Structure 1
């Protein structure tokens, strides 16, 4: 990527961005002491409250079909912390910037909530399957500012984070020379290669050589999610298994398989600086914590609410002390190592209690997206899901018959989330550190 060049746009003024926001993540050391090349990660959830900082939402067009429902399907902070990338159903990809006054300092409880606007909007025609930032993205180095998307009926595409232009694409072809869309995509930890998961193969592309050149590994089930750390690659599949690979040995052999989820694996993430992996699956209320050295069974099982096939993201803080996850009940759960050793060994069979540290009821709808800021005590959350129309109510409206009794409608909403009238679709930034003064914008833990 060093061969790419472009002028630095005026949208981001590098002089106004603190060193900790733009420093190369590979040069950061998370510890108790701050040195010239060290960064002390701030304490999170110290006030046991969330302060709403900024928000934005999307609505259906005036002439759009009723089945067109724009809602968040994921959000991720850029590695330098200056902007957030989000995918909206039926509305493509959006890039929103973090307000510059939040780059440093603390906030007051009476701060006015900002209304976010997208600085980049890509109107994708198909469903976006997966997306990820270049791991060393830095706003002061324009060639590094890019992200990948993979979507329906399209190759893997690399987009410029300054102007939203298409830089290049990476194409995977099957045995009959037909182009296949990747179901999942991720950069390797050094940023030099792209690992993409397909229905029957893993394919590895060289970042500096776009096109159709790749090496591949045959797999038994579709690769629904990918997570990398150092030379380790974890591949989740729709058949509920997780397969571990050594990056240099993909194409020849694998480390082993991990079993236990009740549905297809939708999201995974390594705990920074450890050999532990956290995984979640569709219609599975459990988050598994694995030690890949003893991968036959999970170390711990954490509980969240996942009632649909939708991907529910979770995130782990860069310091490795906090695990945060949303759920279809709209509650954000936080597990903290300062209160519970959530990645120590427990008996998975008898672990029936909810040992969560904090609960934050943020939404009435599904909270499907979570992303912790890489340097600041700020959390990005996204909400929404597809809501089916109640067939009984629709039939009564079409035939002009008597409307369905409100009490019966409430009972349907209470037991069947598909017909719920509580529909939310918004991207929100929350302050999770110390607050100078409390006010009504705070969401307290329960």
Structure 2
């Protein structure tokens, strides 16, 4: 077939040159369109919004609605929060914070939940759909797993139940998953149980699942590309290679924590893993290529069995964690190279770049916004009532002070506090141009 000279196909060298030019143009265009903002550059946090929960007047003393985790949606439009004894809440980010900077004199917004799912029982774990986009309603959903219930998928627009994924044991009894997550593509659900990993197809709710036996309960899960890391209450972290068909091949185990592992997270480059445990004041940084010993050890305050979250910024430069003392700690890789080898002589030294005492109670929830310089923090924990103070109040009310046993004293190891703070707060962690 004859080809007109004006329509002649380019030769191979011209094709390669054009392809290289197009790739460079596309990369430059993407860089110009969006560049992740600098964080903590002003060394000051500005409160943007808050929301709080309190016990109703007629509720019993053991009903305490403290926060147990918060996570930004992948598109950054809303924040998912789990509140003890009050289910799951979805809180939207005010639209004036979508773009630009903020004025230091900006009024603090008091936020209300746009979605409230009143789930009964203790929520063990929750996660967003990884491809969530508010412009595509089908992708707007999250997963929860809770006490005496299957893994459930919820709609983020109206809070309705989309489907349930049930795991059954050898005697055909439904058992709850301890942890749950999606694979990176969002096509499968990986649920961790006491003795098994079970894989469900997102498109097939019900009891159809693949099963892989594990040696210890899966208290937390995280996936990255073809890797799956599993934290356990027996203080170990197991690393698996996932196949597209849902099969798992063991890579190895990591040992180093003194308490049960409660939260793990990959860094954005996928080469390192950060882990935290209960009643363990250390954050361990692992290189998954050489996982026999921790790469670095960071310190925080964790005095209870409660899960204390941490987060790594999408740019991979900052590691932020909460603590039972209410202090937020930040490690900047430019100031403290937290992702490199540890100096064993300074393991006990607190080398955090910044410390922000933001809460009067335990700060258990941390989540960095995926696109904006905004940090979400959640506070709260279970508070025990002091029996001696209650007895004194009862005696004083009866005007019978003499009947109080003066030998009754509080054990010095027992600490009772009524200083409860159950709040979700959004903080600006970017530049503040007009601050004085």
| Fold in common (TM above 0.5) | yes
Alpha-carbon distance in structure 2 between the residues aligned to 1:365 and 1:337: 28
Residue 432 of structure 1 pairs with residue 432 of structure 2? no
State how far apart, in whole Å, the 1-side matches of 2:83 and 2:376 are: 14
- Find the partner of 2:369 among 367, 373, 376: 373
State the partner residue of 1:181.
176
Counterpart of 1:239 in structure 2 is 234
| Structure 1 residue corresponding to 2:110, chosen from 112, 115, 123 | 115
For structure 2, the residue ranges without an aligned partner over 5 or more in a row are 1-26
Aligned-partner SS, 1:118: coil
Does the 8 A contact of 2:331 with 2:354 survive in 1?
Answer: yes
Q: CA deviation at 1:416?
A: 6.1
Aligned to 2:83: 88
User: In structure 1, what is the Cα distance between the partners aligned to 2:275 and 2:415?
Assistant: 25
CA contact (8 A) 1:298 1:348 kept: no
Q: Deviations over 1:96-128 (max 9, x none)?
A: 000000000000110000000000001111100
- Closer, same or farther: CA 221–418 of 1 in aligned 2, 3 Å: farther
Report matched runs for 1:324-335 at 5 Å: 324-335=320-331
SS at match of 2:391: helix
1:402 positional shift: 4.4
What is residue 207 of structure 2 aligned with on the other side? 212
Matched, 1:224 2:222: no
| Unmatched 5+ stretches in structure 1 | 1-31, 406-410, 440-446
SS of the residue aligned with 2:54?
coil
Residue pairs, 1:186-335, within 5 angstroms: 186-248=181-243, 251=247, 253-335=249-331
Indicate the residue corresponding to 1:53 in structure 2: 48
- The residue number in structure 1 matching 2:146 is 151
Q: Render the CA deviation track for 1:292-337: whole Å, top value 9, x for unaligned.
A: 1111100000000000000000000111000000000000000011
What RMSD, in angstroms, separates the aligned Cα atoms of the two structures?
Answer: 2.1
| Helix, strand or coil at the partner of 1:253 | strand
State the SS of the aligned residue for 1:436.
coil
Equivalents in 2 of 1:250, 1:211: separation in Å? 17
C-alpha distance in 1 between matches for 2:185 and 2:349:
39
Residues 317, 323 of structure 1: 8 Å contact kept: yes
For the residue of structure 1 that corresponds to 2:114, the secondary structure is strand
The one-character-per-residue Cα deviations of 1:360-415 (angstroms, maximum 9, x if unpaired) are 00011100000000000000000000000011112222344549x9xxxxx979x7
SS at match of 1:254: strand
Runs of 4+ aligned residues of structure 1 deviating over 4 Å after TM superposition are 249-252, 415-418
> Shift in Å at residue 251 of structure 1?
4.9
Q: Deviations over 1:29-59 (max 9, x none)?
A: xxx9652796311000011011000001011
**Paired residue for 1:24?**
none
Question: Deviation at 1:354?
Answer: 1.0
* Counterpart residue number, 2:356: 360
- Which one has a bigger Cα radius of gyration? 2
In structure 1, the residue matched to 2:341 is 345
What's the TM-score, normalizing by structure 2? 0.88
Asked if the contact 2:242/2:249 (under 8 Å) is kept, the reply is: no
Whole-angstrom CA distance in 1 between matches of 2:395 and 2:185: 61
Could you say which structure has the greater relative contact order, defined with CA pairs below 8 angstroms and 6 or more residues apart? 1
Structure 2 contact 388–410 (Cα < 8 Å) conserved: no
* Cα deviation, residue 219, structure 1: 1.2
* Counterpart-to-counterpart distance in 2, 1:252 and 1:279: 21
Aligned residues: 402
